[in-house]
Amino acid sequence: MLSKNTVKFIKSLHQKKYRVESGKFFVEGEKSVLEVLQSSFTVDLLLVTQEFATKHAKVLSGVQAEVEYVTTNQLEQVGQYQSNDAALAVVQMKPNEAFTPVKGELILALDEVRDPGNLGTIIRIADWYGIKKLIFSSYTAEFYNPKVIQSSMGSFTRVQFYYGDLGQAFQAWKLPVYGAFLEGESIHQLTNPAPGVLLLGNESQGISKEVEKWVSNTITIPGFGNAESLNVAIATAIFCDNFKRMLNQ
């Protein structure tokens, strides 16, 4: 039986303050919960419906976490999904550790992407293009925000990420930094780019002045019509696609 304290605790994780305090976050829905169970994340508590437990008995048999059986109503009460007839997992955050790129790797850097939906979508795009490492400036949306987790569609389990000073990291890595601007070299004209860092900025302000100093190549998506701009997640996808196409030729 789901105790009042457990309900209260999971509900507290809707707020960043309590996520940070406890070092935990939650994951909802069939697909995302299955992915987190089969990832390197540590699941502390798993709430499942009888239906989910029956359907995924094999996955559940290997689970170390405490498992509680709940109703669809209870899931919807503690989580953020309007409908969830499957499961919810309480998961331990990973430590914020710096990483070092390996040779030939493409890294994605975000300078203050604020919208959690955009961040989640970008994580899904990174995963599609096989980008394993992401670095975020400290004002970028929080990775463990439920909307980020939801919109990443399970891809949050397959990327390594790190919040820190972008300039410091770029300086240490000594890699080309391709910064996305509305005016730069057309990504269609770029030839034989070297692997490095693809950097996208804030939804309305773009890349900040402090970070711009570290950009070695300014790049842009050529427009053929009259729209003023593209959404940052859309732009990330187009840059990733162009880089992967060129790096794999």
Among 12, 60, 158, 208, binds a second copy (CB under 8 A): 158
What is the C-alpha separation between 220 and 224, in angstroms, rounded?
13
Q: Give the torsion sign (CA, 225, 191, 243, 248).
A: positive
CB 54 within 8 A of CB 8: no
For a second copy, the closer CB: 61 or 226: 226
Q: Give me the least distance between CB of 2 and a second copy, in Å please.
A: 31
Show the site string, 205-224: x = touches a second copy by CB under 8 A, - = not: ----------------xxxx
Part of the chain binding a second copy (CB under 8 A), chosen from 8-16, 88-96, 135-143, 232-240? 232-240
Among 27, 70, 125, 169, binds a second copy (CB under 8 A): 125
Part of the chain binding a second copy (CB under 8 A), chosen from 89-97, 120-128, 160-168, 173-181? 120-128
Q: Give me the least distance between CB of 227 and a second copy, in Å please.
A: 4
What is the C-alpha separation between 61 and 118, in angstroms, rounded?
35
Among 8, 16, 98, 130, binds a second copy (CB under 8 A): 130
Among 118, 121, 150, 202, binds a second copy (CB under 8 A): 121
Other Cβ atoms closer than 10 A to 37: 22
Among 37, 126, 198, 215, binds a second copy (CB under 8 A): 126
Among 101, 127, 135, 150, binds a second copy (CB under 8 A): 127
- Listing from the earlier edge strand, what are the strands of the sheet with 160-163? 160-163, 133-136, 107-110, 197-200, 177-186, 217-220
The single-letter code of the amino acid at 138 is: S
Rg (CA), the chain: 20
Number of amino acids touching a second copy (CB under 8 A):
35
State yes or no: residue 202 binds a second copy (CB under 8 A): no
Q: Which of residues 165-194 bind a second copy (CB under 8 A)?
A: 188
State yes or no: residue 237 binds a second copy (CB under 8 A): yes
Q: Give me the least distance between CB of 20 and a second copy, in Å please.
A: 27
State yes or no: residue 227 binds a second copy (CB under 8 A): yes
**Residue ranges that bind a second copy, judged by CB under 8 A:** 121, 124-132, 153-155, 158, 188, 221-231, 233-234, 237-238, 241-242, 244-245, 248
